[in-house]
Amino acid sequence: MTMRRCLVTVAAIAATGCATTSSLPTRDSIPELKNVLFFPQTEYECGPAALATVLTSTGIETTPAALVEQVYVAGLKGSLQAELMAATRRAGRVPVALDRSIERLLDEVASGRPVLVLLNLGLKRMPVWHYAVVVGYDAGADRVTLRSGDEPRRQERLRRFLRQWQLADQWAFVATRPGEIPVTAAPESYVRALVDAEPQLGRRAAALAYDALLERWPEHSLAMFTAANRKFADADLERATDLYRRLLEQEPTHVAARNNLALVLLERGCRSDALREAELALTDTSIEPFRAEIADTLTQIESAPPQASGGGACSGG
C-alpha cells in the first residue's frame, strides 16, 4: 500500500540545551592521542586544518586543501562553525556539539576521540578566532596538548586555554562514525545531531546509527521515537510497530507516537486498528501541536479500503 504520510518527526518535538561551567578539571592525565594526524594550517585556514585532523581520525581520507572550498569563507578570512559541522556531515560522519564543560571535553579525549575547539586568542571586543584540536592533558604540568596552527604538539597552560575557550563561548565538537556515540552525549543532543546528519548518511549507515542509539538508551522516549521513525522509513513495519507500542506503554499520552503508529498500521493493512489509534490520539488533551497531522492521518484511514482479514499483522495493541 502506498500513501502520503503525515508523519510527526523529531524536529517537531525535540529540544536541546547546553550546560555551562568554568570549573577546573579534577582528573588524571590523558596520554596524547598520537595516532591523530597533524595538518599545519596555511594563512587563515585553521578551520580546514582542524577539520582534516578530526575527520582523518575517524577513517576519512582528506586534507585541508580538499576541505577549503567547503568551509573557508574568503570574506571572513576564516571558517564558521556551521560550515565545519556541515562538511562533517557531507563526509558521512555525525558531528556532535559538546556541552560547555572542560570535564566533558577531556572525557571525550580520554575515550580516544580528538575534540575540535574554537578559541579566541584576542579580547572579547577584539576577537582573534582560531580552531585547534585537543589531543591530550597533562594534569601534573596543568597543560592541554593541541594540534594547533603550525605546532603539532602545542602545550598550552590549562588556565590560558580555558580563558581562550570561554571567550569563544566554550564551543567544541567531535566527529563520530555512524554507530558510535560520544561517551558524554545526552540522548536529546545526540538525537538532534543524528537527525541533522541523517540526510547525508546512506541507508545502511543511518540504520547502524539508530541501532546504536537504541542500544545506548533502550528506554528513552526520544530514542525510541526517532528509531521507530527510521524503521518506518526503511519499511521495517513490524519493528516500527513494536517500538511505537513500547513507547506508548511507557508514555500513553505520546500523541506523536500514536499518530505514527496509526500510519504504520494502515500501511500494514490494519485499517480498524489504525482507526482506533488515530481516534484515541484525537481525544488526548496534548493534541494541539499535532492536530493537523492527526486529522490528515484520520482522513487517510477513513478513505482506505477495509482490511481483508484480522490476521497476525493486525493483532496486539
What ranges do the domains of the chain cover? 46-176, 203-308
Predicted confidence band at 292 (pLDDT cuts at 50, 70, 90)? confident
Is residue 200 packed enough to be buried (19+ CB in 10 Å), middle (13-18) or exposed (0-12)?
middle
pLDDT over 60 (residue 20): no
pLDDT over 60 (residue 4): no
pTM: 0.86
What is the torsional sign of CA 194, 84, 136, 178?
A: positive
Ramachandran assignment for 284, one of left (phi > 0), alpha (psi -120 to 50 degrees), beta (any other): beta
Instruction: State the average pLDDT over residues 235-262.
Output: 96
**46-176 adopts what CATH topology?**
Cathepsin B; Chain A (3.90.70)
Written out in words, the top-level CATH class of the domain with range 203-308 is mainly alpha
pLDDT over 90 (residue 286): no
How many Å apart are CA 55 and CA 58, to the nearest integer? 5
Q: 237 near 268, Cβ under 8 Å?
A: yes
Q: 185 near 97, Cβ under 8 Å?
A: no
